[in-house]
Amino acid sequence: MKKLVLAIAFIGMGSFAMAQQTTPQDKEARRAEMQQKMQQREQEHLAQMQKDLNLNASQVAQVKALHETRKAEMKADFAKNKEVRQAKMEEMKAKRAQMDADMKKILTPEQYDKWQVDRKAKMEQKRMAMKDRRMMKKPMNTAAPEVK
């Protein structure tokens, strides 16, 4: 009986692990879905601004153009700073590799292995905490109360 339960658990875990793998097509589909959601959110925001501020058609067009201009500027800034970010990442990797080498000289092999395991566990905890924080920041799908 124990073997059967254990076998089912391993099969379940294996299928769960396989389900977590994503393909490039999945990533593209998710990216397209996110872009569609962003566009929808922008439209809703513009409609809410029009309603709240009692904007006329000309003002709506101007606000929309301003938002598009700002989005293009942000995209250009992001692309411009890409090299700087990559250089910083390479510098951080080099520093991490140097620290690993120094720790390897200082610690015994057993201590070094334990240190690496502890460090990976802490990194995973930080990653999960950041993921949880991102989930908490997502706006609720509730409407704001109307002011009379």
Over residues 119-140, the pLDDT tens digits come to 999 999 999 999 888 888 765 5
Which residues neighbour 25 within 8 Å (Cβ) at sequence distance 6 or greater? Answer: none
List phi, psi (to 5°) of 47.
Answer: -65, -40
Higher pLDDT residue, 14 or 86?
A: 86
pLDDT category of residue 115 using cuts at 50, 70 and 90: very high
Q: Is 53 exposed, middle or buried (0-12, 13-18, 19+ CB in 10 A)?
A: exposed
The CA distance from 39 to 69, in Å, is 15
Over residues 48-98, the pLDDT tens digits come to 999 999 999 999 999 999 999 999 999 988 888 888 899 999 999 999 999
The CA distance from 110 to 105, in Å, is 12
Task: Pick the closest to residue 67 from 94, 90, 96, 38 (CA basis).
Answer: 38
Average pLDDT of the chain to the nearest whole number:
85
Identify the pLDDT of residue 78. Answer: 87
Which residues neighbour 1 within 8 Å (Cβ) at sequence distance 6 or greater? Answer: none
pTM (two decimals): 0.48
The CA distance from 134 to 130, in Å, is 6
Identify the pLDDT of residue 135. Answer: 82
Q: Is the pLDDT confidence value at 17 over 80?
A: no
The CA distance from 70 to 45, in Å, is 15
- Sign of the four-CA dihedral 89, 90, 91, 92: positive
Alpha carbons within 13 angstroms on the beta-carbon side of residue 67 total: 14
